[in-house]
Amino acid sequence: MLILVTNDDGVHSPGLASLASTLSELGQVVIVAPDRERSAIGHALTLHSPLRADLIKSDVYAVDGTPTDCVNLGIHGLFNARPDLVVSGINRGANMGEDVTYSGTVSAAMEATLMGVPAFAVSLDMSAGDNSDYVAAASFAKDLATKIIRHGLPSDTFLNVNVPAGTPAGTKITRQGKRRYDDMIVEKVDPRGRKYYWIGGGQCQFEEIPGSDFLALAEGYISVTPLHLDLTNYRSFESLRQWQSTADKAFFSTDND
Amino acid sequence: MLILVTNDDGVHSPGLASLASTLSELGQVVIVAPDRERSAIGHALTLHSPLRADLIKSDVYAVDGTPTDCVNLGIHGLFNARPDLVVSGINRGANMGEDVTYSGTVSAAMEATLMGVPAFAVSLDMSAGDNSDYVAAASFAKDLATKIIRHGLPSDTFLNVNVPAGTPAGTKITRQGKRRYDDMIVEKVDPRGRKYYWIGGGQCQFEEIPGSDFLALAEGYISVTPLHLDLTNYRSFESLRQWQSTADKAFFSTDND
Amino acid sequence: MLILVTNDDGVHSPGLASLASTLSELGQVVIVAPDRERSAIGHALTLHSPLRADLIKSDVYAVDGTPTDCVNLGIHGLFNARPDLVVSGINRGANMGEDVTYSGTVSAAMEATLMGVPAFAVSLDMSAGDNSDYVAAASFAKDLATKIIRHGLPSDTFLNVNVPAGTPAGTKITRQGKRRYDDMIVEKVDPRGRKYYWIGGGQCQFEEIPGSDFLALAEGYISVTPLHLDLTNYRSFESLRQWQSTADKAFFSTDND
Amino acid sequence: MLILVTNDDGVHSPGLASLASTLSELGQVVIVAPDRERSAIGHALTLHSPLRADLIKSDVYAVDGTPTDCVNLGIHGLFNARPDLVVSGINRGANMGEDVTYSGTVSAAMEATLMGVPAFAVSLDMSAGDNSDYVAAASFAKDLATKIIRHGLPSDTFLNVNVPAGTPAGTKITRQGKRRYDDMIVEKVDPRGRKYYWIGGGQCQFEEIPGSDFLALAEGYISVTPLHLDLTNYRSFESLRQWQSTADKAFFSTDND
């Protein structure tokens, strides 16, 4: 069995090493990961410049691209065999709520799913700022990989796993929660007097939605969220149709018309 | 009224100029767009390096970042007033199916939604390779902006608009379709003999799903897809629970347990 | 006559516009310049990724590369005709002393010289922090261009021009001076708590070398320094040979041995 | 003794490892090198974005910047002690003639010299396309380092060392030679039909200048060229003054006037 491992913290990240080492108990592991940190890179795909993949040691490729690029290269370009499973992580910090749309780690699993390869992402919460180790997360990843290989995954679906710091109280299947976003631009001046902006900072706060990833972690559980790539908000169709007041009647024709 | 316009084709793109010019009939338009093409950049956010925003002419800022960065700067950093609407486009080429997760244009509207500002993305199909002009798309964007300002948008939801080349047959509310992905890596050798990889190429084919964005465009309609940021595949919960065979009983505890 | 104009402050820089406009009195001017600021980029050449050149308006190309790349594309790739002259600038800030080796503006003129096209770089001192205008510098550039076209330049040699703020007292042919470099790293912490470093800052101080570029500007003169690309320190040959003590005799064999 | 080692082929390059390992026989070696290949980056200094230095293993830092940035960080930012020597290489491929102005490897030694630290660059010729090993070059670098520590270097001067493939016939002090540059732009079309340009290719040819680096290598010798940062072409002063024809008399006033 061939397992492709990637991440968005970069090829030198300890979370990646821990994951790869543990998964190697299940089969051959190849690492194809960004040569530098590419977190918050979303589902970015490098279409306008070419990519390089350097074999920096046995079964470890450093790519000058995104996690999504790495999965593409790992599935279509670098190897003769097609991976049986793609695992992305262990990310330094949780990826929950709408942050999954920013996350390079989660997007790598998304990409594998588009390519038809079962996949999951695994992230370790570090909100407490402690130096959590990756052992519990890697161990859970191995168990989950075993189950996925045995049972398969629902069609077009991948799993987003978040592991709390410390010893997990158990595992919950969750829904994607909702963050509250603060103002988040810091304006600064560089050593040459030019203005620049840092995005970021702000406390991460979340809405207390029952069954959500945030809540599971807050209660000490490992959160497993099944995600798919259909962003359609089906429930909004009705309210959009209500735009069809007398005046706007002709504006939308829907399939049911 | 303040309308923020951005895109992923870059600040010099004709689609951006056409959109901004037409929307300026509704209120003040400011452009905050990437200084170079950043398509397929997904929902990437620049957290690890700072951003510059250069005022290159009146009400036009060029940012050395992603469309998502531009929306962030436009909402939180550059202006005293908060935009009333964010419009992203007019993209050169359609953004349908799972490609919305790659699209910088769509991700800009996603970002505005996270920040609580109503938003939509608009893309012009160019699959025929023709030099379609942007007039019909810009005109529809103006009409849609007017409606959004009047009616608002459903909670946490933005619209992904795709406009066919030529004269549209009408407008349909659609669901996100599904692409079929081919192998898509091209291996080449640079002038110095080093191997490199191009991602991409391959024909864009789609599944014929009734009510989908692809199908609406194929039939000559403008497609309007309401999207949200909840990627949870709720329908998969049941099948994941079936993993709880006798042997795996303890593996998942769900909220309902 | 075809004049290629570039810079390192980017294609939207006012100094570039002023220079191009004034030189257009002498012949056809085409601008090929970086799409974003690339100062301090030295003689960097983009060999490991491809370049794009977007025609953003008539006779103006924005390139996603360095000033050196722009000169390469402008001489070999973009036009049917070969430029008769390359002028780089007007840089925002002087380029004197060893800073010429960092300067993208100066390196563009260097590159043209390697390609056999006469060239000069022109920079405007802004050390006083004032908003000097570019008129005097552009006017001098036009005069100098006229002379170069008439007389040619010494073999393998280009000119590095620095113009003081205000009204110049005259023009001097100078030698490259010497800066004094301070410690220049600023250590900071980003909004996510990660350490980063800014290079730069520090006052620009110089040694008072008679006939140097620094001194000419300090006295209010335009400085014109003829530069070439031979970095050999011929005067050091003798001292290196003195390493050949008895013990080290065999270490160096020189041509004259 | 503290020796700082860097290069432009990137922190994973075998030439860097070979050099560092051999120099560690002389004292403590720290590696501060780019996290990815940055060849042909010239004397580029990252002033407009911040830098990260990741300790990827004991005494090895990977920097998301240029070789010049690495030397800056290594001298001013990362360590308490100031390096006694900076050695850059072993570059994959020779750096001779005007190519020294493009070379990141050579520029790293240039930067150290500006900071007052003795330095040299070492490159291994691979023009034959063979898989030369780095042993002879590393061994010569160790000998040269020993001599520099004992004798010092001439003021403001660093050494550019090029080592031929195979067993060297001896060592020569040389002058910087001259390359002949061919047309060197390759125009291509990417998988999405957009035009792009590769700089490069073309055979490397040189002028047969006695005492030059090119000639020394062609004859099987190690070439050691003392370089400095004064690019002034003193011999051209006279011909520039001849521009002062009657008509142009007032154009240049030189120091001697």
* Nearest-angstrom CA–CA distance, A145 and B56: 51
Instruction: Output the pLDDT for position B146.
Output: 96
Cα-based distances in Å from D178 to D63, D207, D233: 32, 6, 15
Instruction: Output the pLDDT for position B74.
Output: 96
- So what's the architecture of C2-177+207-241 in CATH? 3-Layer(aba) Sandwich (3.40)
Reply yes or no: is the peptide bond before residue B90 cis, omega within 30 of 0. Answer: yes
Comparing CB atoms, the residue among C48, C62, C194 nearest residue B12 is C62
D:99-128 residues touching chain A, CB 8 A cutoff = none
Contacts of C37 in chain B (CB under 8 A): 52
**In Å, how far is A13's CA from the nearest CA of chain B?**
16
From the first residue on, what is the mean pLDDT of each consecutive set of 10 residues in chain C (257 residues)? 97 96 98 93 89 93 96 92 96 95 97 96 80 88 96 94 94 94 80 82 81 96 96 91 60 51
Q: What is the pLDDT of residues D87-112, one digit of tens each?
A: 999 999 999 999 999 999 999 999 99
D52 by Cβ neighbours in 10 Å (0-12 / 13-18 / 19+) ranks as buried
Instruction: Output the pLDDT for position A221.
Output: 96
A:75-104 residues touching chain D, CB 8 A cutoff = none
Dump the DSSP string for B95-122. --GGGGGT-HHHHHHHHHHHTT--EEEE
Contacts of B63 in chain D (CB under 8 A): none
Specify the fold of A2-177+208-235.
Stationary-phase Survival Protein Sure Homolog; Chain: A, (3.40.1210)
Whether residue A256 has pLDDT greater than 50:
no
- Read off φ and ψ for residue A232, nearest 5 degrees: -55, 130
D181 with C114: Cβ contact below 8 A? yes
**In Å, how far is A48's CA from the nearest CA of chain D?**
8
A255 with B196: Cβ contact below 8 A? no
Helix, strand or coil, per DSSP, at residue C1: coil
Comparing CB atoms, the residue among A52, A171, A198 nearest residue B50 is A198
Angle at D56 between CA D53 and CA D60, to 5 degrees: 75
Question: Is some CB atom of chain B closer than 8 A to the CB atom of A193?
Answer: no
Per-residue pLDDT of chain D (257 residues; tens, 9 = 90+): 999 999 999 999 999 999 999 999 999 999 999 999 998 899 999 988 889 999 999 999 999 999 999 999 999 989 989 999 999 999 999 999 999 999 999 999 999 999 999 999 999 998 655 566 899 999 999 999 999 999 999 999 999 999 999 899 999 999 999 988 776 788 888 777 788 888 876 667 899 999 999 999 999 999 999 999 999 999 999 888 877 654 455 566 544 44
From the first residue on, what is the mean pLDDT of each consecutive set of 10 residues in chain B (257 residues)? 97 96 98 94 90 93 96 92 96 95 97 96 80 88 96 94 94 94 80 82 81 96 96 91 60 51
Instruction: Output the pLDDT for position B128.
Output: 55
Question: Is some CB atom of chain B closer than 8 A to the CB atom of A41?
Answer: yes
Hey, of D36, D190, D196, which one would you mutate to test binding to chain B, going by the most B CBs within 10 A of its CB? D190
C48 with A52: Cβ contact below 8 A? yes
Contacts of B191 in chain D (CB under 8 A): 184, 186, 198-202
Cβ contacts from A onto C, under 8 A: 28
Specify the fold of B2-177+208-238.
Stationary-phase Survival Protein Sure Homolog; Chain: A, (3.40.1210)
Instruction: Output the pLDDT for position A132.
Output: 67
Residue of C35, C34, C22, C31 whose CA lies nearest to C2: C31
Q: Which residues of C are annotated as a binding site?
A: 8-9, 39, 91
Cα-based distances in Å from A180 to A212, A214, C31: 14, 12, 47
Hey, of D131, D192, D196, which one would you mutate to test binding to chain B, going by the most B CBs within 10 A of its CB? D192
* Nearest-angstrom CA–CA distance, C179 and C164: 17
Q: Which residues of D are annotated as a binding site for a divalent metal cation?
A: 8-9, 39, 91
- So what's the architecture of D2-176+209-235 in CATH? 3-Layer(aba) Sandwich (3.40)
Q: What is the pLDDT of residues D135-176, one digit of tens each?
A: 999 999 999 999 999 999 999 999 999 999 989 999 999 999
Residue type present at position B226 = P
Whether residue A135 has pLDDT greater than 80:
yes
B234 with A223: CB under 8 angstroms? no
D48 with B52: Cβ contact below 8 A? yes
B40 with A46: CB under 8 angstroms? yes
Subunits with 3+ Cβ pairs within 8 Å of D are: A, B, C
DSSP H helices, A115-181, are 135-151
> How many helices (H) and strands (E) would you count in chain D?
6, 13
Dump the DSSP string for C151-215. H---TT-EEEEEE-SSS---EEE-B---EEPPP-EEEEE-TTS-EEEEE--S--EE---TTBHHH
* Nearest-angstrom CA–CA distance, D206 and D229: 23
Pick A144 or C180 by higher pLDDT: A144
B:197-256 residues touching chain D, CB 8 A cutoff = 198-202
* Nearest-angstrom CA–CA distance, A110 and A120: 8
Known binding residue A72? Answer is no
Known binding residue A7? Answer is no
B103 with B121: CB under 8 angstroms? yes
**To the nearest whole number, what is the mean pLDDT of chain A?**
90
The nearest alpha carbon in chain D to B194 belongs to D201
Residue type present at position B217 = L
* Nearest-angstrom CA–CA distance, C3 and C20: 9
Contacts of C12 in chain B (CB under 8 A): 54, 56, 62
Angle at D172 between CA D168 and CA D177, to 5 degrees: 105
**In Å, how far is B192's CA from the nearest CA of chain D?**
6
Instruction: Output the pLDDT for position A41.
Output: 92
